[in-house]
Amino acid sequence: MELNASIRKAASRTIEMEASAISQLVNLLDDNFDNAIDKLAACKGRIVISGIGKSAIIAQKIVATLNSTGSPSVFLHAADAIHGDLGIVQQEDAVIIISKSGESAEIKVLVPLVKNFGNCLIAITGNIKSFLARKADYVLNTTVDQEACPNNLAPTTSTTAQMVMGDAIAVCLMEKRGFNMEDFARFHPGGTLGKKLYLRVSDLYVENERPEVRHDQSVKEVIMEMTRKRLGVTAVLDSEGLLAGIITDGDLRRMLEKNTSIENIKASDILTPSPKTIGPTEMAVNALDIMRKNEIMQLVVIENGRYLGIIHLHDLVKEGLI
């Protein structure tokens, strides 16, 4: 138990220290940050992000975030840069270099090369008096009081601060560019997240059968139609071809419980009027929300009062939305 208490204490201390460091970043924001965002937003090329050691790993994460939020970016390892990969940097690119100390040997070699190319250089550093900070056009201060590491050595708090600063850059650029959900969907077409953002009702219901009966057709014809189309429901259309209601498997069971003879019963006698409907251009995830709230398995798809088809809960399950 004493060992577990010690572990819990160490974990709590780490989280509290990093949370405190992040909250202090707010006080480090200044005109450098504002001007850097303006410069990045106006950049006609890409954002090249470089670092060494743990900072390089943070740089890769920031690149991934920027690319997924509409800011074309590329990672450049500082060690590889000075051995040929500097060719990645093009004339209209902006360069961000991440370094806690700002004094790493690779950084000291890389910085003058970037400056000679004439690219805008933005530093994310915890040492605003460092070589990197002095040479950069804009300095984003990520100074932390102490690493969460017991020996104050392993990059922990400092790398967290770097990553948060990168997220702040990405979000500010999103707002500057008016990056919205539709834009996000274009960059995330795969997986459940992408499908929630781009999959529409029209992508699903067209693959299903289109069960329908007239309001004056017999129950036998209703049963035959529902059996053929196998969706557990059929639309009932009035004399003008507009949706009058639906009949579900449940409606049929309730009807059979109440009647011994069904010969004279018509579709109009057992239909459910004003069923839940959805338009073809609605997002599929909205169809799921309606089904969940109303505890139903199907929705009728209509457009301008015209019946188009049925979207079933199974369609959404198959697409991984549930």
**How far, in Å, CA of 272 to CA of 62, rounded?**
54
Does pLDDT of 316 surpass 60? yes
Q: Are 67 and 200 in contact (CB under 8 A)?
A: no
**Residue 77, pLDDT score:** 96
Q: Are 279 and 302 in contact (CB under 8 A)?
A: yes
Q: Are 274 and 220 in contact (CB under 8 A)?
A: no
**How far, in Å, CA of 159 to CA of 178, rounded?**
29
What are the extents of the domains in the chain? Answer: 2-179, 202-318
**What's the whole-number mean pLDDT along residues 27-55?**
96
Task: List phi, psi (to 5°) of 75.
Answer: -95, 140
**Residue 167, pLDDT score:** 97
**Beta-bridge partners for 96:** 49, 122
**What's the whole-number mean pLDDT along residues 71-86?**
92
**What's the whole-number mean pLDDT along residues 48-64?**
97
**Residue 261, pLDDT score:** 75
Options 3.90.1170.30, 3.30.450.20, 3.40.50.10490, 3.40.50.1820; CATH for 2-179 is 3.40.50.10490
**Residue 223 half-sphere exposure, CB side, CA atoms within 13 Å?**
10
What residue has token string 């470089």?
50
CATH class of domain segment(s) 202-318? alpha beta
- Rg of the Cα atoms in the chain: 30
**What's the whole-number mean pLDDT along residues 161-175?**
96
**Tens digits of per-residue pLDDT, 231-261?**
999 999 998 889 999 999 988 988 888 876 7
Known binding residue 314? Answer is: no
